[in-house]
Amino acid sequence: MILVTGGTGFIGSHTVVELFEEGMDVLIADNLSNSYADVIDRIEKITGKRPMFEEIDLAKSEKADLLFEKYPNIKAIIHFAASKAVGESVEKPLLYYMNNLNSLMNVLENMKRHSINNIVFSSSCTVYGEPDELPVHEQSPIKIANSPYGNTKQISEEILKDISKISPDMNIISLRYFNPIGAHQSSLIGELPIGIPNNLVPYITQTGYGIREELTVFGDDYNTPDGSAVRDYIDVVDLSRAHIVAIHRLLNNENKKNYEVFNLGTGTGSSVFEVINAFKKASGLKIKYKISGRREGDIEKVWADTSFANKELGWKAETSLEQSLKTAWDWENYYRKNLENK
Ligand code: WQD
């Protein structure tokens, strides 16, 4: 059985769908702080299978201990459970350090206690900070994090690396995500931020639907072709499929070292204005926006060198920015028309 912590979240739920498609059994542990449990019904609708589910705050060690005692047949863990908004982490640093680090350490403590040797860790391109050279590859310097969120991911990777050095039987893979966007083609699951979205794409789709008055573009004075900041937007289904490859790699002992890191991006950078234009092509809608100053914690530009993941994992992102914006828009419409306040 695969334990997916944070499995009712955006990337977690899409990964659970892919795990089921692969015929694996899944247990989700999630504290529902940034997601809703009814996503489980929709995972079942997509796959015909229902994951086991425990609502639990893994940052509480006694709760984490009980979970692992209750489920003795966990073979591998995909650890998503973490708070993940760059902007919010600047305002609430302690929440981010306590939640993100305690959750990981409680999981690792229990892995040792129960001899569970395989973990895929949800890391982030934010560990690169503001890179000096682009694209960033896995050996690019880890810069001073620009936000507490990015710092929790850097510290988490250091914890995993230190553990791998003294635990030769542990198999650890850190997947550094760039900017996950889009939704499952069924439109039954997608990104569903609680409250005002921190991330660009859900803010755009909510503006398109009329939930938000207009988008605020956080700065057009960056040293980029059109002045807006550049990111590597990767489709959430492509991203989820990389987790399946990583899990198989660990379960089949195909990993070359007991701590491996992979960039999961498309290898292409897109600016905020390019995303707005791609959304217009995908939806036919011209998003109303205003321009403000830069957001605290934001970097100017980052995109991935994905050659290591392409070669070593045999994995490559296949979905275009416009296709991802289309599925994100379809999900926004499905959710508002069929799920909201039901
Ligand atoms: C993207 C761009 C904003 C909102 C994300 C995740 C983080 C990590 C890295 C996985 C930036 C601009 C945004 C808005 C805007 N991923 N923007 N108006 O900050 O790159 O971080 O990727 O671990 O978890 O949060 O993503 O979508 O917030 O911002 O102009 O209303 O869009 O300034 O340039 P970010 P984002």
> To test the ligand 1 pocket, which listed residue (14, 86, 124, 177) has its Cβ within 8 A of the most ligand atoms?
86
Q: pLDDT per residue over 119-142, tens digit each? A: 999 999 989 989 999 999 999 999
The answer to whether residue 149 is catalytic is yes
Tell whether ligand 1 has an atom less than 6 A from the beta carbon of residue 236: no
- Ligand 1: centre distance to CA 88 (Å): 11
Q: pLDDT per residue over 97-119, tens digit each? A: 999 999 999 999 999 999 999 99
What is the pLDDT, as a whole number, of residue 133? Answer: 96
Residue 10 predicted with pLDDT over 90: yes
When pLDDT is averaged across residues 171-196 and rounded to a whole number, the result is 96
When pLDDT is averaged across residues 6-31 and rounded to a whole number, the result is 98
Q: pLDDT per residue over 82-99, tens digit each? A: 998 888 898 999 999 999
Question: Tokens representing 223?
Answer: 């040293």
Residue 342 predicted with pLDDT over 80: no
Tell whether ligand 1 has an atom less than 6 A from the beta carbon of residue 278: no
Q: pLDDT per residue over 228-269, tens digit each? A: 999 999 999 999 999 999 999 999 999 999 999 999 999 999
Percentage above 70 pLDDT, the chain: 100
317 vs 245: CA distance, rounded Å: 13
Residue 47 predicted with pLDDT over 90: yes
Q: Residue 14: which of 214, 236, 187 has the closest Cα?
A: 236
What is the pLDDT, as a whole number, of residue 145? Answer: 86
Residue 35 predicted with pLDDT over 80: yes
> To test the ligand 1 pocket, which listed residue (298, 299, 300, 325) has its Cβ within 8 A of the most ligand atoms?
298
Query: Among residues 149, 203, 222, 259, which one is catalytic?
Result: 149
What is the pLDDT, as a whole number, of residue 296? Answer: 83
Average pLDDT across the chain, whole number: 96
- Ligand 1: centre distance to CA 199 (Å): 5
Residue 167 predicted with pLDDT over 80: yes
Percentage above 90 pLDDT, the chain: 92
Tell whether ligand 1 has an atom less than 6 A from the beta carbon of residue 298: yes
When pLDDT is averaged across residues 151-155 and rounded to a whole number, the result is 96
Evaluated on CA atoms 145, 179, 77, 137, the torsion sign reads negative
105 vs 100: CA distance, rounded Å: 9
Q: What is the CA radius of gyration of the chain?
A: 19
Q: Which of ligand 1's atoms lies nearest the C-alpha of 204?
A: 31
Tell whether ligand 1 has an atom less than 6 A from the beta carbon of residue 216: yes
- Ligand 1: centre distance to CA 182 (Å): 14
Which protein residue has the closest C-alpha to ligand 1 atom 13?
200
Q: pLDDT per residue over 279-335, tens digit each? A: 999 999 999 999 999 998 789 999 999 999 999 999 999 999 999 999 999 999 999
9 pLDDT band, cuts 50/70/90, is very high
